[in-house]
Structure 1
Amino acid sequence: MTREQGWQPDVLGEPFDQLTLTLAPDAEGEVVATLVRYAPSPGFADLLTDAHVRRPVAADTDVLYVHGWSDYFFQKELAVFWHDQGARFYALDLRKYGRSLRPGQTPGFVDDLATYDEDLDAALTAIGHAVGQKSKRRLVLMGHSTGGLTLSLWAHRHPSRADALVLNSPWLEFQARSAGRAALAPIIGLQARVDPRAALPNVDLGFYTRSVSAAMDGEWDYDLAWRPVRGFPVHPAWLNAVLAGHAQVAGGLTIQAPVLTMVSARSTMLPYWTPDMLSSDIVLVVDDIAQRSIKLAPTVTVARIDGALHDIFLSKEPVREDAYARVTQWLRGYLSGS
C-alpha cells in the first residue's frame, strides 16, 4: 500500500510501518514516541460488503497496544489476530523504549505515569481519535504489565475516550502486596527526591527472558538491546511513580468502558529456575492482580489462563489459542453491540 507522509518501513518488515511522534523535549534532550501499524494489502475478506455476511466482531474499530516495562512491540501474531477480527491495529513504543530510545537517554524513565498522556494523545491523534474529534470508529486500548497500569490510569482520567480496555497481566499492585507497598513507598519517595536516577538493586535474575527468548527456552526472537535479559535499571523516581499508580488503583478507579483483565492461572515466584516458570507468571502475583482488577471499573471481566506466562500472548501456542478465543468471546459480548 502507498505510505502516507511520515510513515516509514518498520523493523518488523512488511506489512508493518512506523511513524515517529515528536514530543516536548526534556532534560535529556529530544523525546519521541513511535507508532507502529499493521497495514496489509486488502484481502478478499476485507472487500466483502454483502449485508448477509457476518461482520467481524471488531469491525470499525481501532486498537492501540502499549507494551510493558523494559519492553517494546514485536508481537506480530497479536497484530494479525486483531486484523482478523476486523480491527485496524496500532502499537506504541513509549518514549525512551524500543524504537523511541535515543542515545544518552535513561531507558524507560519517567517520574510520573501521567507523562505518557502526551505520547498517547499524539498516537490517538495520528490514528483519528484526537481530543474533541468525534470518530466513527471505536477505540480499544490494550496494555501489557506496566502498560496496562498506564492505560488504566489514563482511561480513568479521560472518561469516554475508549470503548473498551483489554489488559494483559496488568501491573496493578506491587509484588509485596499493599502492606509491602505502604512500607516501601516512603523510602522510595525520599530516594526519588534526593537522587531520582540512582540505580536500585537489580532483582531480575533473567528467568523471564529465559522463558520467552528463542535463544533460551522460549520461542520468540526480538532485540535484546531493546528488551534486555535482566531488564532496564530501575530508578527511584520511576518506581515512585509506579507505586503511586498502584495506590490510586487500590483506592478505586472509575473507568467508564468495560474492562477485560487476563492473567495466568498461577504465579511462580522463586529465586531459582524451575520448569514451572514456562507455564506461569514469574513477574506478578496473579491473585493480587485479579483482586485489584475489580477496582478499575463498574464492568470488569477477569480471565484466568491456565499455563500462561506473564505476557500471555508469548505463551505456548495452545495457551495463546485459548487466550485469543477468550478475547474474541468477550468482544462479542461487549463490543459487537456498541
Structure 2
Amino acid sequence: MTETPHTPRYHTDILGDGYQQLTLHFPDDYDGPVVATLIRKKGTIASTKAVLYIHGFMDYFFQTEMAERFNQQGYDFYALDLRKYGRSKRAHQTLFTVHDLREYDPEISKSLQIIGEEGHDQVILAGHSTGGLICTLYAAHHPFHPLIKALWLNSPFYDFSVNLLKKKVGLPLLSKLGAHLPNVRVPSGLNIWYVPSLHRDFHGEWDFNILWKPKRYSSISLGFIHAIHEAQKELRHGLHLPVPTLVMHAHQSYFPKKWGIQAQKSDLILDVKDIERMANKLQGDVTVMTIHNGMHDLVLSGPTVRDWVYQQLFSWLSNKKL
C-alpha cells in the first residue's frame, strides 16, 4: 500500500511477532499533553471484521492469546492503552488518573475511525472490568455508530465491591468530594493477591510489566471514585444497549487475606452478584453468562477455563452472525 501523509504510521510494538502500535495525540487536559496507544494484530487473511479491546483499571494490553484467538476466528485485533495507562503514560502524568469516564471517548472514537479506514465494516467492542463499564457507556451514548455491531464485556465494573453502608453513604460522599478534590487519595481496598495470582514470578503463568500492572496499589484518587460512581449511576437508572451484548463473569468472588489456590478460581476484585444484578438491568439483547472457576480477567483464567470462555464467546458471536 502506498503511504500518504494521512496514513497512520505504526511501529513495532513491545509484544513483537506481528504486533504494531500507533500513538494517538489529543488536546492537553488538566495534567498537560495527552496520548493514547492503539495496538493491532492483523490476521493472516484479509478481513472486514475487527475487535477493539479496552483494558481495566491498573492494567494495559498484554493478553496476546486473546488477540491470536480472535485472529484465528477471522477478526483483526485492536486494543487501546488508554491515556495515562501502560504504553500511553507520560512522565508528567500520574498513572490511571481520570475525572470523568467520558475523557476516554476521543481515543475510542479515533480508534474506531482508524479501524474503519483500514477496511473494516463491523467491530466487536470488548472491555474488561473498568473497560467493560467504559464500553457499556460508549455504546449506549453512540447508539447509531456504524461500526459497532456487538459488545463483549468481561467482568465489567458495574458496582464497587463494598458493604451496603459504604455503597449508600460512603461512596456518594467520596464521589461528591472527588468532583472538587480529584487528586486527594484514599485507600484502594484492592486485594493484594490479585496480581500475584496472575504473574509468573509469583503464582501465575503470565508475564507482564509490573510497573504498568503493579503488584500492589494502595491508594486511589477521589477523581477516579467520582468518575466510576457517576458512570454506575447511569447504569442504575437504566441503559439501552443498541447491539447484542454478552456479559461474562466468574461464578464466585473471593477476598482472601492469605494465599490459597482458590484465588485462581474466583474473582478477587468484584462481587459477581453485583455484576449479574446490574447486567440484568440493561435493556436490549443482553446475554449474561457465568464462567465456572473463572478469574476476574476471564481470559487469564486456567487453560481449561479460558478455553471454555473462548468457545462460548465465539459460539455466541456465530449465533449473532458476527
- TM-score (normalised: structure 2): 0.93
C-alpha distance in structure 2 between counterparts of 1:90 and 1:178, whole Å: 38
Deviates more, 1:198-207 or 1:87-96: 198-207
Which residue, 193, 198, 206 being the options, matches 1:207?
Answer: 193
Report sequence identity in percent.
Answer: 36
After TM superposition, list the pairs within 5 Å mapping 1:60-209 onto structure 2.
60-128=48-116, 137-161=121-145, 162-176=148-162, 180-209=166-195
Contact 1:165 1:259 in 2 (8 A): yes
Q: Name the residue aligned to 1:51.
A: none
Distance 1:144 1:136, change over 3 A: closer
Cα shift readout 1:228-257 (whole Å, capped 9, x = no counterpart) = 111374100111110111111111111110
Aligned length: 317
Distance change in 2, residues 1:233/1:105 (3 Å): farther
User: What amino acid does structure 2 have at the position aligned with 1:186?
Assistant: P
For residues 247-279 of structure 1, give each alpha carbon's deviation from its aligned partner in whole angstroms, at most 9, with x where no partner exists.
111111111101101101111123333321111
CA contact (8 A) 2:54 2:127 kept: yes
The separation in 2 between residues aligned to 1:13 and 1:24, in whole angstroms, is: 29
- Aligned residue number for residue 234 of structure 2: 248
Q: Deviations over 1:148-192 (max 9, x none)?
A: 001101111000322100000001112126663231233213421
Equivalent of residue 13 in structure 1, options 11, 16, 21: 16
CA contact (8 A) 2:67 2:77 kept: yes
Which letter maps to 2:121?
R
For the aligned residue pairs, the C-alpha RMSD in angstroms reads 2.1
Letter in 2 for 1:113: L
Distance 2:100 2:287 in 1: 28
Q: Decide whether aligned partners of structure 1 residues 249 and 193 sit closer, same or farther in structure 2, where only a CA change above 3 A counts.
A: closer
Contact 1:63–1:89 (Cα < 8 Å) also in 2: yes
Task: Report the Cα distance in structure 2 between the residues aligned to 1:225 and 1:136, rounded to whole angstroms.
Answer: 34
Name the SS of the counterpart of 1:246 in structure 2: helix
- Report what 1:36 is aligned to: 39
Residue 319 of structure 1 and its aligned partner are, at CA, apart by 0.5
Matched residue SS, 1:325: helix
- Distance change (3 Å), C-alpha of 1:136 and 1:311: closer
- Where does structure 1 lack aligned partners over 5 or more consecutive residues? 48-58
Distance 2:2 2:21 in 1: 13
After TM superposition, the score normalised by the length of structure 1 is: 0.88
1:326 aligns with 2:312: yes
Could you say what secondary structure the match of 2:214 adopts? Answer: coil
Contact 2:267–2:296, Cα closer than 8 Å, also in 1? yes
Q: Is it true that 1:290 corresponds to 2:276 in the alignment? A: yes
SS in 2 for 1:228: coil
Match of 1:116, SS? helix
User: Contact 2:154/2:249 (CA < 8 Å) preserved in 1?
Assistant: yes
C-alpha distance in 2 between matches for 1:93 and 1:258: 25
3-state DSSP class of the match of 1:220? Answer: coil
CA distance, structure 2, for counterparts of residue 37 and residue 22 of structure 1: 17
| Contact kept in structure 2, 1:17 and 1:39, CA below 8 Å | no
Indicate whether 1:223 and 2:226 are aligned. Answer: no
3-state SS of the aligned residue for 1:96? coil
Query: Equivalent residue of 1:234, what SS?
Result: strand
8 Å Cα contact 1:152/1:296 also seen in 2:
no
Flag the 1:185–1:205 CA change in 2: closer, same or farther, 3 A. Answer: closer
The question of whether the paired residues in 2 share the 8 Å contact of 1:37 and 1:90 is answered with yes
